[in-house]
Homo-oligomer: A and B are copies of this chain.
């Protein structure tokens, strides 16, 4: 059985564009001799379409697109994810064959945790389903269905499925592709079915879908695997009868024991025009996982490229301070868009050191990007003058520091308005967590590239990029200089924050793991730092709520992933 899995970069709401891409995929799969071609979960709408799913006309338009695509499914079976409007709305896969929509499987497990809100939109399906293609029984599942051991794959295998296909839209976080693959292999082994995982790829607002579609045999060994973070049509030949043969001789009691199971819908028997005479699928199409930090870097590049591209921008701009954060944003922007689409702005104040300024200019030159210079000194003085009648003799404080950041934010936004550029912000997750940023200042912009990247990871990612080319574009002093916001004389981050090793450890426990004060102290973290950081995190929720979107790379990103009240008196 030859399978084609289209690892598609769908765009949310672009029904016409997604329909065209699916049509092209069906054609390419047929040309490659595939008998079945699968597309990701909700391929026709993009994922997640969120409240577009509450519009009846959107659901109607999506259905019509799927019905048009059915006409292209001639001599091949196409599996296309779409939202099905019936008595309720279902997250479904359409079986397209012989020019018609032949049947529908409805997702049975709806995730409603973390970044997922599927119960808001969908009713759960109740019936596992199989189809028969050229004599082979194929089970159908959708994403979360296989995230549990007792999902529909069990019933489908017992109903004779030799191959199970999972269409998916699984958001990236660091390390997840490896964990996910471990789980998927287990499903294949446990149920003695070949298993095909067809994943969405691409960026959508705060999410990146990493792809890594794959086909495993019934032992869980990969037959074929698509690369991460790129569109790909994966072709694989599966020995469909090996699974059945293995079951006859399998001595494990698991499958045999489960005699009672849910009824399984049979959605049809189809004969394709591919198969017998075709060339074998090319060997060696088994992509490997990237190294862990390189994987995160690649996610940030794709997430940035897709946010920019899918929102119709062509050029980005950001403040380049000569610090490690804006350096990382600079290399990501260049890798995502190319140097001619990137403008950096150096905005010195009297507190800016010549070292950081020089590093910024050197980096911009090395990366080949435009570098503008706008001094903020006069504007600082003019704000002081304007506010003097109200402020009187009060001493300089955080007010004046924030004004510097806000002047810079205004200048970047003025460039954005005048030239149509998207402003990237450069704050990292450690800063966002403790509110070490200025609202409408350094947090002003359209996309917060590294907002979910903790500071220590920022350093590692800069290192990944520095080592990529023999001749690194990144001046060594950018990495070796102690971090500073340079908003007053001789300021250093560690004057007002714990060392980043401690800060990031506290934040990992508090934000990502939902641990409390006592548990963090029990981990050996200093009580004083724990109290301070937890208070800072809780009191800066109002700032994070007004930050631009940015790419989720950790197990819990601020935003749709971590939903805490602003008004909240609970501590710890």
Contacts and interface: CB of A to CB of B under 8 A. Distances in A.
Contacts of A378: 382, 385-386
B394 A418 contact: yes
Contact of A410 (B306, B410, B545, B564): B410
Interface string A287-301: 000000000000000
A548 interface: yes
A58 B570 contact: yes
Given A204-B567, A564-B52, A568-B12, A411 B386 contact: yes
A565 B12 contact: yes
A546 B398 CA distance: 22
A50 B13 CA distance: 29
A13 B568 contact: yes
- Number of identical monomers bound together in the oligomeric complex: 2
A399 B420 CA distance: 10
A432 to B, nearest CB: 14
A381 to B, nearest CB: 9
B570 A549 contact: no
Contacts of A372: 390
Interface string A331-367: 0000000000000000000000000000000000000
A386 B446 CA distance: 23
Interface in A478-536: 514, 516, 518-519
Contacts of A446: 542
Contacts of A117: 112, 117, 120, 563
Given A311-B567, A382-B382, A446-B542, 17 more contacts: A17-B569, A48-B565, A52-B565, A54-B514, A56-B514, A57-B518, A58-B516, A112-B112, A117-B120, A378-B385, A379-B379, A379-B382, A390-B415, A402-B413, A407-B410, A413-B439, A546-B546
Interface residues of A, number: 83
A387 interface: yes
A180 to B, nearest CB: 22
A310 interface: yes
A570 B387 contact: no
Contact of A57 (B13, B390, B516): B516
Interface in A1-48: 11-15, 17, 48
Nearest to A396: B418
A14 B385 CA distance: 43
A542 to B, nearest CB: 6
Contacts of A406: 406, 409-410, 413, 440
B379 A563 contact: no
A518 B374 CA distance: 49
A228 interface: no
